[in-house]
Amino acid sequence: MSITRRVAVGGLAALPFVRTKAQAQQTFPSKPFTLVVPFPAGGPADIFGRNLAERMSPFLGQPVLVENKSGAAGVTGVDFVAKAGTDAHVMGLMSASAGAIMQSLMPKMPFDPAKDIAPQILVVRVQEALAINSKLGIGDLKSFIAHAKANPGKVNCGSAGTGGITHLAIELFKRETGTDLLHVPYRGAAPAVNDLLAGTVDTVLLDISILLPHARSGAIKILGITSDTRAPLLPDVPTMREMGYPKVNSDNWYALISPGAAAPEARKKIFDAATAALKTKEIADAYEKVGGVVGGGTTAELQAFLKEEAVKWAAVIKAANVKLE
């Protein structure tokens, strides 16, 4: 057989593979999607995920089913997505804890953040705030900082748990304001708020959604938003940046991810659907009700943001010598 004939036969033999691959790309998506939410049903992360799933579905032409896989501060759910191989029908939400914090706290991550996941788009930012029991009689942040400095180690501050975003936010606040607050970790935000209302703890630094009802009732006073922008639900409360502490930024956030091995063409379709969904008024309204600010932007912007967040929280963890319980 001549070289020319061998090449021709080889080329013909390869055609079925080429056609199959092209057909696979054209038919994606070919089945319902799974969106993994790495926290229990009913919480803010679940609300963000279910609203995103509902709004993405029409743009993908397939149902998007939410599956809750909680554990290890969100790492368990992200690990499930990372191990989905090439199946782009599996997506997930990744929180600040799993995406930027736990890699500096866990002895070994179960997945390689640089290879096993493909960041897609920032879905939402969740603003946090510093709040005190109104009975303390402190009217503003400046007075609170002066009170804390006059009582080093005696003013306690509750968080939703050791090593989480709210704990590290406290450590960041302490570092930037030169205060010595006593950290009191809780198993979740709700018990921390309950103790704030009871006066067991002096202050908390938590997501604004859980603080808002008590702030409106007058039981607690919110002193500042730990974000670059004011919270839509609390337009009269200044940010830490406005009050002279620009580095006290502890937004929680959730990003959409795909398996790292998923085809670029499939990831592009998912990105486009998520971008379109995040531009809808319905999703903006739903997120705002629970203290979320809709995200967006490009994948490159998200990747740069993830690196910045990892560096920032690694420095806080090291300086405060934070260890997991």
Tell me, what CATH number does 159's domain have?
3.40.190.10
For the chain, percent of residues with pLDDT exceeding 90 = 82
Give the Å distances, CA to CA, from 33 to 29, 60, 67, 141, 241.
Answer: 8, 9, 10, 46, 40
Give the mean model confidence (pLDDT) for residues 287-291. 89
Give the mean model confidence (pLDDT) for residues 137-156. 96
pLDDT at 62: 97
pLDDT at 219: 95
Residue 58 lies in a domain: yes
Region at 273 (left for phi over 0; alpha for psi -120 to 50; beta for the rest): alpha
What's the mean pLDDT when you consider all of the chain? 91
pLDDT digits over 248-275, tens only? 999 999 999 999 999 999 999 999 999 9
Asked whether residue 115 carries a pLDDT value surpassing 60, the answer given is: yes
User: Residues 142, 193: one domain?
Assistant: yes
Which domain, by its residues, includes 82? 33-125+251-320
Total of domains in the chain: 2
Residue 27 lies in a domain: no
User: Residues 316, 171: one domain?
Assistant: no
Q: What is the biggest distance separating any 2 CA atoms in the chain, rounded to whole angstroms?
A: 95
pLDDT at 26: 62
pLDDT at 13: 45
29 upstream amide cis, omega within 30 of 0? yes
Residue 246 lies in a domain: no
User: Residues 112, 134: one domain?
Assistant: no
User: Residues 257, 316: one domain?
Assistant: yes
User: For residue 74, what is the domain's CATH number?
Assistant: 3.40.190.150
Asked whether residue 114 carries a pLDDT value surpassing 70, the answer given is: yes
DSSP letter at 231 equals B
Asked whether residue 288 carries a pLDDT value surpassing 50, the answer given is: yes
pLDDT at 209: 87
User: 69, 275 in Cβ contact below 8 A?
Assistant: no
pTM: 0.86
* Residue of 179, 198, 183, 182 whose CA lies nearest to 135: 198
